[in-house]
Amino acid sequence: MLTYLRGTSTLLTQPARLLRGYSRAALRADLIAGASVGVVLLPQSLAFSLLAGLPPTMGLYAAILASVIGALWGSSSHLHSGPTNTASILTLSVLLPIAAPGSPEFIAAAGLIAVMAGLLRLLMGVARLGLLVNFVSDSVAVGFTAGAGILIMSNQIEPVLRLDLQSTASLFDTLRSTAAQIGELHPPSLALGLGTIGLLLILPRVQRRLPAVLLSVVASGLASWGLGMEALGVQVLGALPQSLPPLASLPLLDIDLIGQLSNGALALAIIGLVEAVAIARAVASHSRQRLDSNQEFVGQGLANIAAGVFSGYPTSGSFNRSALSFQSGAQTGLGNAFSGIFVLAAMFLLTPLIAHLPRPALAGTLVITAYSMIDRRAMARIWRGAPGDTVIMIVTLAATLALPLQFAVLIGVLMSLGYYLLKTSAPRVLAVLPDDTFRHWAYQPGKPGCPQLAVVDLLGDLYFGAANHIEESLYDMLARVPEQRFLMLRMHSVQHCDISGIRAMENILRICRERGGGMFLVRVRDPVMQVMRSTGFVQLLGDDAFLDEDEALGQLFHHTLDPAICIYECEVRAFRECQDLPKRGLVNGMVALGGHGLTPPAPELSARALWERLRGADPPLVVDVREPREYRLSHIPEATLTPLPVILSGPDDLPRDRAITLVCRSGRRSARAAAHLIAQGHTNISIVQGGMLAWEAAALLTAVEV
């Protein structure tokens, strides 16, 4: 608890850390950057407040408060907070069903929803929920931003044409009303709007560092003044108050209104945080600054609370102002704070000029800004990428154009989370084989696999949502190749395992053991191993089933797989160990060796017991049924060589009046030879338990032929 409280106090005392050790060089750089950003912030705050259906003064107040508070309590040195096109259009969409734009009720609701969204962001930051923004895919942001850009452009039709359109956030209603009133457009207003748009397109081509927005608005204002367009009916901003941001009278106790605004406040909080953190990360990729998402949540929350309390409206992070802050050389967050102070000073010094700025000019700047929001390159990349991302982008875009924006945002977020759950609940389960160099494992569906051993990559977590999918996938693999009795799972991609995953593993293990085989695991991560130990799965599976990946295949090949199947039944050389293995098919139509079970058909002798019998009065005849190459490398001194194919297909030359003990590498070929000899009438047959592996493990004498 003390650690949590200490961390919370750290989030709230960010300004103290920002000001500690602040240098004079940084002050100079921040002042220059603040002035540069302030020049852009001033006209944008006016335009965006009009976009939200609010008085221009609310945009100025929001710009002053949010830029200062967001800079002091955020973690990014360049993320600029204040009025944005997204926050403005979203605010308008949420408030339209509640009150008429510009009315006292509308203005009060705008301040209240800013406080509500700010409190949600602040609580999310204090609760350390900054990681939640990672669960909203880029497809949602790209689709929503493109749709919002189209809506913003459609909402500028009214001021540019000076039509009396019904206040609505619906694209189709706006286009329908425009078509009905197109004959009543106002040519001077249209000329100013188009002129501003033309300047905004031309100036960046002349010099990218020019403040295109400011120059375009100033030029349009001078043209309006010089040509007397205000007298011709061109609408202007009007007089602005010369005062500090006043306290707003907010309906904090209106429970009904709070309930009506709750969904919209949640949408504003979510999309604003996603937008702000995404912008901060984009700039940080150039500045190499480390960010704290929780601190950004706190900064954005306090900025919105301050804006709502002091007569502003909801704010968020601005990409173009943040990029300008970085390009202007800001050293700390105080650069953005100085931009708010610049706007405050301009309110007192430039009010007479700002009052005569034509609204069509500001609308023209918003048209270009909105058009730039449609990231066609990002949309094309998503279109060429995963189908799920494409569907999320298209649905979010369509919902943005057809539904209230808060519902469009929530639909996109829910689809993003649903897509994430779908992907994690259906991880890939791939049967893999070595590549041609035998250095790497690869998914090669067209290449035949080993008939005894399936090697499978689990590419996802073994949690309750995915356990059934993984179990069914493994079961289907085993069902397709019934003779496969052994399963080796590569677990390097499994980061998490719960009790549902353990039960799925137990079910697959049971199937393997019912077939007479087993299951082996490689590259099991420590957290997963801890769960397996604590639930008893390690004890059930056995410690020897957890193998080192570099040695696993060799160990299974030499100690677990049936060499009789490898030599006499299988034509596939799937693994490196198979390459030098002799392949000898059965002759004369003999039955497949796999038809013999694993239960020994004859009594078994331990290696030590055979050694003692060979030293006794009536030693058995030891018959080695391996291949000549194996026999030459190491064999029991008293053993004679009779390979298994000879026993199965040749004449029965073995004596029937003497005890015969069969030996092979591990006992499996001996079992098959014993089954065949017993079927031919031999009655005194035994098998060396564990074969030559057991003989050598007992340190008994072996012979070698050179």
Q: What is the mean pLDDT of residues 655-666?
A: 91
Each residue's pLDDT tens digit, 670-687? 988 898 899 889 999 999
pLDDT of residue 66: 96
* CA nearest neighbour of 163 among 142, 145, 187, 143: 187
Taking the CB of residue 78, how many other CB atoms lie within 10 A of it? 31
Q: What is the mean pLDDT of residues 589-606?
A: 61
Q: What is the mean pLDDT of residues 338-350?
A: 88
Identify the band that residue 595 occupies on the pLDDT scale cut at 50, 70 and 90.
very low
d(CA 201, CA 566): 73
* CA nearest neighbour of 343 among 315, 371, 363: 315
d(CA 594, CA 603): 20
Q: Which residue has the tokens 């695991």?
A: 521
Task: Report the percentage of the chain scoring pLDDT > 70.
Answer: 92
pLDDT of residue 169: 53
Q: Which of 63-72, 128-137, 475-484, 580-589 has the lowest mean pLDDT?
A: 580-589
Each residue's pLDDT tens digit, 435-491? 888 888 889 888 888 888 999 999 999 999 899 999 999 999 998 888 888 999 999
Contact 149, 141 (CB under 8 A): no
Model confidence at 3: pLDDT above 60: no
Q: What is the mean pLDDT of residues 283-295?
A: 80
Q: Which of 80-84, 405-409, 413-417 has the lowest mean pLDDT?
A: 405-409
Each residue's pLDDT tens digit, 303-338? 999 999 999 999 998 877 887 788 778 889 999 999
Q: What is the mean pLDDT of residues 4-28?
A: 78
d(CA 17, CA 10): 9
Pick 578 or 511 by higher pLDDT.
511
Model confidence at 41: pLDDT above 90: no
Q: Which residue has the tokens 């809506």?
A: 151
Contact 311, 145 (CB under 8 A): no
pLDDT of residue 498: 93
> Distance from first CA to last CA of the chain, Å, rounded?
75
Q: Which of 50-59, 228-237, 433-442, 545-554 has the lowest mean pLDDT?
A: 228-237
Model confidence at 71: pLDDT above 90: yes
Most confident of 212-216, 367-371, 646-650: 646-650
Query: Which helix (H) or strand (E) is 611 found in, with range?
Result: helix 607-614
Domain ranges of the chain: 2-15+24-153+169-236+249-417, 428-569, 598-697
Q: What is the mean pLDDT of residues 538-548?
A: 93
Model confidence at 4: pLDDT above 90: no
Q: What is the mean pLDDT of residues 617-633?
A: 90
Model confidence at 210: pLDDT above 70: no
Q: What is the 3-state secondary structure (H, E, C) of 78-94?
A: CCEEECCHHHHHHHHHH
Contact 69, 81 (CB under 8 A): yes
Strand (E) positions, 196-300?
none
Mean pLDDT score across all residues of the chain = 84
- DSSP for 357-383 reads -BHHHHHHHHHHHHHHH--HHHHHHHH
Q: Active-site residue 578, yes or no?
A: no
Q: Could you tell me whether strands 546-547 and 518-522 are parallel, antiparallel, or unpaired per DSSP bridges?
A: parallel
Model confidence at 85: pLDDT above 50: yes
Helix (H, G, I), strand (E, B) or coil at 688: strand
For the domain covering 598-697, report its CATH number.
3.40.250.10
Using left for φ > 0, alpha for ψ between -120 and 50, and beta otherwise, residue 251 falls in beta
Each residue's pLDDT tens digit, 219-264? 887 888 888 887 888 877 677 777 889 999 899 999 999 999 998 8
Identify the band that residue 592 occupies on the pLDDT scale cut at 50, 70 and 90.
very low
Taking each helix axis from N to C end, the angle separating 138-155 and 359-373, rounded to the nearest 10 degrees, works out to 160
Global confidence as pTM: 0.61
Pick 622 or 238 by higher pLDDT.
622
User: How is domain 428-569 classified at the architecture level of CATH?
Assistant: 2-Layer Sandwich (3.30)
Model confidence at 643: pLDDT above 60: yes
Q: Could you tell me whether strands 660-663 and 621-624 are parallel, antiparallel, or unpaired per DSSP bridges?
A: parallel
Over the range 153-167, which residues count as b (16 or more CB within 10 Å of their CB) and which as e?
A: bbbbbbbbbbbebeb
Model confidence at 301: pLDDT above 90: yes
Q: Which of 206-220, 355-369, 520-534 has the lowest mean pLDDT?
A: 206-220
Contact 80, 296 (CB under 8 A): no
* Residue 129 phi, psi dihedral angles, 5° rounding: -105, 25
Q: Could you tell me whether strands 80-82 and 316-318 are parallel, antiparallel, or unpaired per DSSP bridges?
A: antiparallel
pLDDT of residue 219: 83
Q: Which of 170-184, 253-267, 324-338, 511-525 has the lowest mean pLDDT?
A: 170-184
Fill in the amino acid letter for 455: V
pLDDT of residue 594: 42
Each residue's pLDDT tens digit, 107-116? 999 999 999 9
Model confidence at 548: pLDDT above 60: yes
Contact 484, 562 (CB under 8 A): no
